[in-house]
Amino acid sequence: MQNTREQPLSPPSGFRPGDLRRKMRLSEDIIEATLFFVGFLTIFITISIVIVLGDQALLFFADPAVTVWEFISSTHWQPAIGEFGIWALVSSTLTTSAIAILVAVPLGLSAALYLSEYASPKARAILKPVLEVLAGIPTVVYGYFALLFVTPILQTIFGENIGVYNMLSAGLVMGIMILPLISSMSEDALSAVPRSLREAAYAMGATPFEASVQVVLPAALSGIGAAVIVGISRAVGETMIVAVASGATSKFTFNPLEAAETMTAHIARISGGDLSYNSVDYNSLFAIALMLFLVTLVLNLISQWVVSKFREQYE
Amino acid sequence: MQPETPQYAIETRDLSIFYGAFEAVKGVNLNIEKGKITAIIGPSGCGKSTLLRAFNRMNDFVPTSRVKGEILLHGVNLYGKEIDPVEVRRRLGMVFQKPNPFPKSIYENIAWGARINGFRGNMDELVEESLRGAALWDEVKDKLKQSAYALSGGQQQRLCIARTIAIQPEIILMDEPASALDPISTLRIEELMQELKKNYTILIVTHNMQQAARVSDYTAMMMLYEDTRSGTVIEFDKTDVIFTRPTDKRTEDYVTGRFG
């Protein structure tokens, strides 16, 4: 660029055949390589976790005291007497997670719809920070909230039928914990729906409820589905709340009024004890973790399938 | 020519539209004749769309917007305290600049609006009739269950017209309905408008003066006040008058392309 301010802007004079040749752009190459590395790092980490879990779980299943069949078919988990039936732990994980999702999805979606379709800027300015505070509370606090606040309330309702430790209280509070996650992810999805679609709905004489539930919501369903999937994963993997409020005895039951230990709570409790390395009990933790991984995976696949059935694409 | 008694579909009385303190449109008086096509023309940013959106109360969604004056439908002020904007929009359909079909099937695009408006008749018949009314039936009759997004832009816009006539509005508002379309699709929309005016009153905003001259019976010319930057209608007359012997010098400059 030989242009100085005295001359007006003009095309460069002269043209050499090499001018259009490919140039080395080292910074581009470095950036691409870095992004590639970071992108694949997550995959490497996931694979490493599966390998570690699988490796240790193999040791567990290789133990003469254990059979794979017993693991996946029995409903008794009592390592002390050599009973390793995973369903005793899976049942409570599924029960508490189901309660949490039943609480969090309707409430979170309603909050998201309100925030994105109805709320005045003023109401938004109050409600959003409150929801974010809810998201920032440590789960151990939620756990004691469940045990010391929610359970006594439930006891006045159910009386003798509900114990101090129960899955209902843990599930309800877990629902409150994942509510902000579901509402903020859903709100993002709803806000991303083009304004032109809302205008189309309103111009057809839709009420705000018809427009938001029948046009905007279906258009945002893939994003909302992602929110539910993340919510399920959080619920299944949540440890502190269930460890504090849901009890420490493994039991095969789907009755939310009973106490039962979840997979995560069991892992947390046992690994905190003085297990000897390479004992059956120790190795069983990895088998549970592998099962946890599988449960999350299966639930994710189911949710993705459900979303793909119902979603409406607007591009 | 025998004297005709004008029958107005909708009228505005000293209509002003504000965004906050800014008066975007000022003092508009229009008597829109029934069964005719009325075009609103004028340079960019003079408030044509704002004026059009005031008719079906779409400006309500702009939080700071406010209206002074009246819009009268059968003598009833659409901005009266007891008026439900949802009911207003059921009587004044709207077609937008960019085709905006719902992310649903072609069939559902039409059925949805009818359903929320309480239609209880034969839905299949209504869908067919609406699509025929929008000159789209022959192109889509074998793929009613397919997504509306599989259609071309011109077809999507005719689908939007079809879903609008499915709710049987009295007036159809069109906001530059052909500006995102190619010339052939534009021509089809213009032909369709001539068909539609047998049953509906049409108000169309357009940038395209040839289009206004081709399709409309009446034309309202809008312009900005130099000092306040508010838009207003400076001249409103039969289209051939506006385009051949306008009274306002600014209209003449604009329609002959000497504007600016």
A-chain residue closest to B91, CA distance = A205
What is the third-level CATH fold of B8-102+170-255?
Rossmann fold (3.40.50)
B147 touches chain A (CB under 8 A): yes
Mean pLDDT of A127-137: 89
CB-based contact B58 A203, cutoff 8 Å: yes
Structural domain boundaries in chain B: 8-102+170-255
Q: Would the CB atoms of A200 and B100 count as touching at under 8 Å?
A: yes
Is B103–A219 a contact, with Cβ atoms under 8 angstroms apart? yes
Choose among A280, A257, A254: nearest CA to A95.
Answer: A254
Altogether, the residues listed in chain A come to a count of 315
Task: List CB contacts (< 8 A) between A202 and chain B.
Answer: 58, 61, 89
Q: How would residue A276 be classed by pLDDT, with cut points 50, 70 and 90?
A: confident
Q: Per-residue pLDDT for B11 more than 90?
A: yes
Count of CA atoms in the C-beta half-sphere (13 A) of A200: 29
A312 to chain B, closest Cα gap in Å: 5
Q: How confident is the model at residue B17 (pLDDT cuts 50, 70, 90)?
A: very high
State how far the alpha carbon of A7 is from the alpha carbons of A4, A10, A15, B252, in Å. 6, 8, 19, 42
Q: Whole-angstrom Cα distance, residue A115 to residue A190?
A: 10
CB contact under 8 A, B167 and A205: yes
Interface membership of B179 toward A (CB under 8 Å)? no
Chain A residues bordering chain B (beta-carbon distance below 8 Å)? 120-121, 194, 196-207, 210, 214-215, 218-219, 312-315
In the predicted model, is pLDDT for residue B226 greater than 50? yes
Contact between A313 and B163 using a beta-carbon 8 Å cutoff: no
Question: Which of A121, A199, A210 faces B100 most closely, judged by CB atoms?
Answer: A199
Worst-scoring range by mean pLDDT, A1-15, A55-69, A255-269, B17-31? A1-15
Q: How confident is the model at residue B1 (pLDDT cuts 50, 70, 90)?
A: very low
Q: At B39, give phi and psi (nearest 5°).
A: -100, 145
Indicate yes or no: CB of B117 within 8 angstroms of CB of A205.
yes
Taking all residues of chain A, what is their mean pLDDT, rounded to a whole number?
89
In Å, how far is A218's CA from the nearest CA of chain B?
Answer: 8
CB environment A43-66: b (16+ within 10 A), e (fewer):
eeeeeeeeeebeebbebbeeeeeb
Domains of chain A, by residue range, sit at 90-265+299-310
**Per-residue pLDDT at A141:** 96
Per-residue model confidence as pLDDT tens digits over A243-262? 999 988 889 999 999 999 99
pLDDT at B40 over 80: yes
Domain at A90-265+299-310: CATH code: 1.10.3720.10
Average pLDDT over residues A110-127: 92
Backbone angles phi, psi at A102, to 5 degrees: -65, -30
Q: What is the distance between the alpha carbons of residues A233 and B225, in angstroms, rounded to a whole number?
A: 60
Question: What mean pLDDT do residues B14-42 have?
Answer: 93
Q: Is the pLDDT confidence value at B37 over 80?
A: yes
Using the beta-carbon criterion (under 8 Å), do A214 and B100 form an inter-chain contact? no
pLDDT (average), residues A48-63: 90
Cα–Cα distance, B95 to B77 (Å, whole number): 23
Q: Among A208-217, A300-309, B3-12, name the one with the lowest average pLDDT.
A: B3-12
Burial class (CB in 10 A: 0-12, 13-18, 19+), B132: middle
Residue B8 Cα distances to A168, B156, B165, B217, angstroms: 65, 31, 20, 14
Number of C-beta neighbours around residue B122 at 10 A: 10
Structure-token pair, residue A260:
């039962």
- What are the DSSP E strand ranges found in chain A? 77-78, 83-84
A-proximal residues of B, 30-69, CB under 8 Å: 56, 58, 61, 63
For the residues B158-168, what does the mean pLDDT come to?
94
Q: How far is A186 from chain B (nearest CA, A)?
A: 18
* Cβ–Cβ contact B150 with A under 8 A: no
Rounded percentage of chain A residues whose pLDDT exceeds 90: 59
Cα dist from A152 to A139, A147, A174, A254, B87, whole Å: 19, 8, 17, 21, 50
Determine the distance from the C-alpha atom of residue A298 to the mean position of all C-alpha atoms in its chain, rounded to a whole number: 13
Average pLDDT for A119-143 = 91
Which of A196, A206, A215 is the closest to B98 by Cβ?
A196
Q: Chain B window 106-125: which residues touch A at a Cβ cutoff of 8 Å?
A: 112-113, 116-117
Return the ∠ at Cα B141 (arms to B135 and B144), rounded to 5°. Answer: 110
User: Which residues on B lie below 8 Å from A198 (Cβ)?
Assistant: 61
| Shortest alpha-carbon distance between residue B225 and chain A (Å) | 29
B239 in contact with A, Cβ within 8 Å: no
- pLDDT tens for A190-203 read 999 999 999 999 99
- Across B159-173, average pLDDT: 94
pLDDT of residue A280: 84
- Find the radius of gyration of the CA atoms of chain B: 18
